Amino acid sequence: MKSVRKLTARILRKGARIIDPPQQTRLIQDEYLTWLGYANPGMLEPGNIYLIDYAIRNLSSGAPIVEIGSFCGLSANVITHIKRKHGVKNTLITCDKWQFENVNGRPEMPGSPILFSDYKMFVRDSYIRNIKMFSPDDLPFTVEMISAEFFAAWKSKDPCADVLGRPLNLGGPLSFCYVDGNHTYECAKRDFLNCDEFLEIGGFILFDDSTLAEFGVYKLMPEIIAEGRYKLIAANPYHLFQKVSRSGG
C-alpha cells in the first residue's frame, strides 16, 4: 500500500533504471523477459531478475516460494518463467489486497473522474489476466490479503481460496521470500520477521527498493546484516540474503 505520490515516483525511477541500468548491476539477458516487459506492466528492478534467478537456481528444497505484493503480476510471471527455465517445481504463492492509499482524501484519482475503487479492480483484473496469459502452465496461487493477514493465516495453517477460486492449504516451511509490499520500516520489519519464522535454513529472502533511502526498508538492511543469521549474497542493487542459522552467531 503506497501513496499515489510515492507510487508515481517509484514508477518513474524504475523506468529510468530499466532504460539505463546502473553499470554495476548484474543483468540476465533473456529475450522472453524482454517481450514480457513490453506487455506486462510493473515496477521490477532489472537487477532483481538476476537475484531471483540466483535464488531459484540454488533453492535448498521444494518448499513454496512467497511473494509479498503482486500489483499487475510482472514479478510473478518472471519468477514462474525462471522456475520453468531451471525445471523448478516449487509452488509460488503471492499475496496482495491491492489497496492504494489515497493521500488526497478523495475517492477519485487526482485530476480525473476515475475512482480509486475502480483503479483497484482494474489492477487486480490485470494481474489475473497477466498470469493467465504468461504463466498458464504453472499459475501462481494468489491470496487477497495484506501480508500480516497472510502470515497469520499461514501460521494457523488455514485453508483458503485464491483469486482464481482454487483451494489452497497454507502453512509449513518456505524456501524463498520476495518482500515487495509496504516499504515503511515498520511493515518491512514485520514482513521480515514473519518470513524469518518460516524460512528454512539455506532459504533466500529478497528485499525490493532496499538501497533507496526514501523507503524505510533501507533502514532494515544493516539490522539484518548485524544479526549474523543471514549471509548477504549480493546487493544488485537491492539485497538478497540467505539464511544460515536460526539463532544469533
pLDDT at 6: 53
Give the model's pLDDT for residue 128.
Answer: 98
Residue ranges per structural domain of the chain? 4-243
Q: Cis omega before residue 110 (within 30°)? A: no
The single residue listed with the C-alpha cell 507510487 is: 7
Residue 21 pLDDT: 42
- In the three-class reduction of DSSP (H, G, I as helix; E, B as strand; rest coil), residue 231 is classed as strand
Q: Is the Cα torsion angle 49, 239, 203, 193 positive or negative in sign?
A: negative
Query: What distances in angstroms separate CA 139 from CA 84, 89, 110, one per listed residue?
Result: 11, 11, 34
Per-residue model confidence as pLDDT tens for the chain (249 residues): 444 455 545 544 444 343 344 447 999 999 999 999 999 999 999 999 999 999 999 999 999 999 999 999 999 999 999 999 999 999 999 999 999 867 677 889 888 999 999 999 999 999 999 999 999 999 999 999 999 999 999 999 999 999 999 999 999 999 999 999 999 999 999 999 999 999 999 999 999 999 999 999 999 999 999 999 999 999 999 999 999 998 654
**Rg, C-alpha atoms of the chain:** 17
CATH superfamily label, 4-243: Vaccinia Virus protein VP39 (3.40.50.150)
